[in-house]
């Protein structure tokens, strides 16, 4: 059962090699090649988010591939889509450094 006080973020949401149908949730201009759970953790830390990591979690649509999962405590200011775009922007900046 899902915890309604947490937002689930999978690395596949930001993967440029995936289509929207396969789970990408950001525009291609904000996506990166094969994002890792460690990069998402670094971005969450940079954004001062309250988060947990589940490294063994698998994205349901690709249940045979362990991708990891970032669990972020809900913040009133952000809904999931806004949070995903903020993470994508920071991830893109992290990759260009």
Structural domains of the chain, ranges and CATH numbers in brackets:
6-96 (3.30.56.30)
> Which tens digits make up the pLDDT trace of 16-29?
999 999 999 999 99
Q: How far apart are CA 27 and CA 36, in angstroms?
A: 18
Please report the pLDDT score of residue 64 as a whole number: 92
Percent of the chain whose pLDDT exceeds 90: 82
> Which tens digits make up the pLDDT trace of 42-63?
999 999 999 999 999 999 999 9
Number of Cβ within a 10 Å radius of residue 49: 19
In angstroms, the first-to-last Cα distance of the chain is: 38
Cα 26 off chain centre by? 10
- Candidates 76, 73, 57, 54; CA nearest to 65 is 57
Please report the pLDDT score of residue 3 as a whole number: 66
């Amino acid at each position: 059962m899902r915890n309604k006080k947490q937002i689930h973020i999978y690395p596949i949401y930001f993967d440029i090699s995936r289509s929207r149908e396969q789970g990408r949730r950001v525009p291609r201009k904000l996506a990166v090649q094969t994002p890792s759970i460690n990069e998402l953790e670094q971005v969450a830390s940079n954004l001062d988010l309250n988060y947990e990591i589940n490294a063994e979690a698998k994205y349901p649509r690709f249940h045979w591939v362990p991708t990891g999962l970032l669990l972020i405590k809900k913040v009133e200011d952000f809904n999931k889509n806004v949070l995903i775009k903020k993470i994508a922007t920071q991830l893109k900046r992290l990759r260009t450094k």
